[in-house]
Structure 1
């Protein structure tokens, strides 16, 4: 299909899948259980962190994690005592274990106490003229890792400088930054522009993008993210990541 036909297809699919009807089966359902901004941010960040594997398992464990935080994630992060931390150390999702849980809670506390919260921490790395969030992701990673931790925990925080697609961080940023009337993404953050967001590139999105001719690179890495983003920004320079709804769902639901 030609470029006009491809854009029309992706616009239609994005419109169809960007609906609250699909929230219940998606990890974004966990932050949607909250109304307070800080609770939404922390719940979203933590569930995005564990968002690999089967979606059913991710959603189940995401809600389990919130239960271990007494369904008050911000208060837990800021005020958890020894008994609370012992409680959270029971959480495991695949290779994300007790040590990782305790480190993430400690680092989030540091982010909110010393760096103004998650939005400010992500925005800290942005430079004038940045077209995407690459520098934002690098600086956030530096800030998050300043809290003492075991080396093994670093694998749970993507590093695009090493080639990672940073899929889960980009997904979290989509949740927090994008704003429309659909009721899926939250649009809470204003320091990062939707135009700067990058596509959360995973296996499904990559496969669909290649089949549609949006991406030619064989490897899913940061260069592939930039390649696919170049095309998506040509379709909609203001809100390119809305096409994540189309590409991901076409891979998952339509098996394209």
Structure 2
């Protein structure tokens, strides 16, 4: 397939998968329970944080997270007492446990009280992509006393990570194409700055299509994939996440 044929093929797959029905089985369904901006972005951030492994388990555990927050994530973050935090200690998703969950709530409170909220920490980056901004976000997130074990749950592109989960969270918040999947509630960033959430599925499909040569799904591979997808659509390269994911997960391409 030459570049023109590849673009036509992938554009068709984007249309096929970038549909409201995509939400039904995807973790993005969790923030769709909410209407207030802060509730949506906190629910999205926490859901994205545990988005690895079996999708059904991710969805169930993200729902459990919201239940533990009284299904009012922003209120819980801002108003919680030490006693309220006790109930979070029972939470476990793979290696993310109650200790991590409690710290995440404290870190989010710090971000909303002292840094203008989640969007403000990422906002106004003029960079072509947001990988440096993600590293800066990690510094802010862990700028208060924290358990060392929890650092691994926020990826750092400066250390070579593809930061799949944060890139997915940013896609949810920034992309706005009125198709009923991504929220597009952050207006301070452009979809052109987004990077594809690179995981096993999207990586394997990208290699089969010749969009990616690097074997590891790391930061260098992300840059290579970014470059290839920007040739297909410089304004909205991450729409192709729907195509790569759909081909990998639903079609076993």
TM-score range, shorter chain: over 0.9
Q: 1:158 aligns with which of 135, 152, 155?
A: 155
Task: Establish whether residue 181 from structure 1 lines up as the match of residue 181 from structure 2.
Answer: no
Moved >4 Å (runs of 4+): none
User: Match of 1:148?
Assistant: 145
Q: CA separation in 2, counterparts of 1:100 and 1:190?
A: 30
Aligned-residue RMSD, C-alpha: 0.9
Q: CA separation in 2, counterparts of 1:150 and 1:86?
A: 16
Q: 1:196 aligns with which of 193, 197, 213?
A: 193
What is the TM-score with the length of structure 1 in the denominator?
A: 0.97
User: Match of 1:79?
Assistant: 79
Task: Establish whether residue 240 from structure 1 lines up as the match of residue 237 from structure 2.
Answer: yes
Q: CA deviation at 1:191?
A: 1.4
Task: Establish whether residue 113 from structure 1 lines up as the match of residue 121 from structure 2.
Answer: no
Alignment map for 1:56-135 (pairs within 5 Å): 56-123=56-123, 126=125, 128=126, 130-135=127-132
Q: CA deviation at 1:176?
A: 0.1
Q: CA deviation at 1:5?
A: 0.9
Contact 2:132-2:157 at 8 Å conserved across structures = no
Q: CA separation in 2, counterparts of 1:103 and 1:254?
A: 39
Q: CA separation in 1, counterparts of 2:135 and 2:42?
A: 19
Q: CA separation in 2, counterparts of 1:38 and 1:16?
A: 30
Q: 2:208 aligns with which of 184, 207, 211?
A: 211
User: Match of 2:27?
Assistant: 27
Q: CA separation in 2, counterparts of 1:164 and 1:249?
A: 23
Deviations 1:24-56 (CA, angstroms, capped at 9, x unpaired)? 111000000101100000000000000000000
Deviations 1:97-138 (CA, angstroms, capped at 9, x unpaired)? 1110110000000000000000011226x2x4x110012101
Q: CA separation in 2, counterparts of 1:82 and 1:145?
A: 19
Q: CA deviation at 1:82?
A: 2.4
Q: CA deviation at 1:179?
A: 0.2
What are structure 1's unaligned runs of at least 5 residues? Answer: none
User: Match of 1:255?
Assistant: 252
Q: CA separation in 1, counterparts of 2:180 and 2:35?
A: 13
